[in-house]
Amino acid sequence: MAVPIRTVVAALCTALAATLLTTAPAGAEQRERAWTVTVAADAPRVRIALDDATGTLSLSVTRGGRTVIEPSPVGIVTERADFSKDLRFLRGKNRTVEERYRTRSGKRLDRRVRMNETRLSFATPAGARLDLLVRAAADGVAYRYVLPAGHGDVLGETSAFTLPPDAGAWLGTYRPDNEGQFTEYTAATAPTGAYSPQALFATDGGYTLLAESDLTGAYSGARLAHDKGTGTYRVELADDRVKTDGPLTTPWRAMVTGDLATVTRSTFTDDLAPASKVADPSWIRPGTVLWTWLAGGRPAGQSLAAQKAYVDYAAERNWPYEAVDAGWYFKADEWDVTDPDWQTNSWMPELVDHARAKGVGIIVWIHQRELDTSEERAQWLPTLERWGVKGVKIDFMDSEAQATLQWYDAILRETAAHHLMVNFHGSTVPKGIQRTWPHVMTLEGVAGEEKRTNTAAHLTTLPFTRNVIGSMDFTPGAFHRVGLRPNSDAAEVGLTVAYESGLQMFAGTPDSYDARPLARDYFDQVPAAWNDTRLLAGRPGREAVLARRSGDRWFLGGVYAGPARRAEVPLTIGAGRWLVETIQDGADGLVRNRQVLRGGDTFAVDVVANGGFAGIACPWRPGVTTCHR
């Protein structure tokens, strides 16, 4: 829940948020005006330039004097005005934005924000006005367009991001459900096509992840369009025409930037988003979930007896939730909502009562088509709340068009009103949504465990791309899917920490957990909300080792792609002595190792091909022999 916000208007011409007019040498014709925004000398610096000859705007980003983003087009076109050319500068205004807020889940519960903001006003020859809002923080820069009423519908943006052609690039092919795999290219050699807006690039200025924030039904979702042979990635909207009927503020075009550890730990897209709209979030409780779909599919979903057995297993393990997937409300594959007894014929209330008695909450899957009208939502949501269901997993939106985003606006308000946590599948990606609507615990928007074509390289890229911007429902723990996943058992355990999700859904079977007691016992310990997150080692597509803190314990998750190796991991979790327990792949299954290390030491882990590890580090003192509690 956000605490009161303090916003300080900074003096114009400070060193940290400077609006600088660049002039040509004496006697030469002035050709460009430029403004720069930054928060510190070692932070990213964004430069906005206006070409006086063409009236076009461009934006570039540097860090430490090195290239992050080359000069890139900035502009938007509406049916009544073209704000991509012939602009003249009107005025500028600076301020500093400082906020503190607390989340219910994510990489870090307590957040502190400091950004410098410049607002630049421009006009077309006909007098139409555009404001360009630019923000800079220690871990990113962003911009958005602000238009007054009367501009008409938006026809598109000329916004783009230009990278050095040889910049490393990790890109996911665009899909409306955001389930494209991430693959490594260079900025120029990536094939012509559309890509996810969560694109990661490496230049001499560090790593930069492109992203969006504060996307609502007032606008349209975006993708990146690229032509092979160039380093330019254009912003394309899901709609040919974005309908507006008044003033418009577009989503933030964000660039999370810094070294890889900074990008991985960043909460920049959340920091840009509006404050929480949930006044009392006390009912929102992250946790681990026994998820049964990959354990049996629809037949298991339709069986009350099977679901009770799963609840009993979750209760035995002290796992707080059990998720019931597709099939539970279907009769002959279709639920007849015109049946006056449709609410009383379901066995779900009996299951919820059974689970409540055992301290387990129930989360239910539901198709978006059951909730796509206000009348349907008025039937379903109060009923689920009355039954005592804790959350809904809503599936198959498969669109980021404006009409779908308006549906998101409605369902977010209404699920919050009925105290239902949300897991979106077949969906958009977070884009700041979890700050504004903290009952959104996780979203799919990823090629997750259900996919049969994932690669180990994809798995080691996700912590630096999709999962940077918010909770990701990858659904790890599917030990029974041998041959259908690219990684080892120890790596599968490590995914529960390497990937952050406010509802961490375990995708295996009870039998597969019992056959791997070290993994099962680790799942008993692992939280779903964190006090802090750190990257210990990483290279997209090759390795990712993350440490996440809960209380005084650090949980460790490492995933690797490629041949077997002896991996070296720096224990950069703080000073003092630590007992470190790791779960690794052994000759006959999972094995546990224990050692006492000092903070900053490097420890070695034997990793099998496409393997990994999981671990816990806790403060050591004489007599401490285990981190498990």
Bridge partners (DSSP) of residue 539 are: 543
Helices (H) and strands (E) in the chain, counts: 12, 36
Contact 260, 546 (CB under 8 A): no
Cα(218)–Cα(409) distance, integer angstroms: 9
End-to-end CA distance of the chain: 29
Question: Counting Cβ atoms within 10 Å, is residue 27 exposed (0-12), middle (13-18) or buried (19+)?
Answer: exposed
Contact 315, 282 (CB under 8 A): no
Cα(585)–Cα(3) distance, integer angstroms: 45
606 given a catalytic annotation: no
Q: Which phi and psi angles does 433 have, rounded to 5°?
A: -65, -30
What is the rounded radius of gyration, in angstroms, for the C-alpha atoms of the chain?
A: 25
602: closest CA among 566, 562, 626, 628?
566
- E strands along 232-342, which residues? 232-237, 248-249, 252-258, 287-291, 321-324
Instruction: Report the interhelical angle of 517-525 vs 304-317 (nearest 10°).
Output: 80
Cα(88)–Cα(484) distance, integer angstroms: 58
User: Which amino acid is it at 629?
Assistant: R
- E strands along 316-458, which residues? 321-324, 361-367, 391-395, 421-424, 440-443
Catalytic residue, chosen from 370, 409, 450, 601, is: 450
99 given a catalytic annotation: no
Collapsed DSSP state (helix, strand, coil) of residue 139 = coil
Per-residue exposure over 447-456, b if at least 16 CB sit within 10 Å of its own CB, e if not: bbbbbeebbb
Catalytic residue, chosen from 117, 236, 325, 395, is: 395
Collapsed DSSP state (helix, strand, coil) of residue 117 = strand
466: closest CA among 200, 105, 136?
200
Instruction: Report the interhelical angle of 374-387 vs 348-357 (nearest 10°).
Output: 40
Cα(349)–Cα(356) distance, integer angstroms: 10
Contact 581, 457 (CB under 8 A): no
Q: Which phi and psi angles does 417 have, rounded to 5°?
A: -65, -30
- 124 φ/ψ sector (left φ>0, alpha ψ -120 to 50, else beta): beta
Catalytic residues: 395, 450
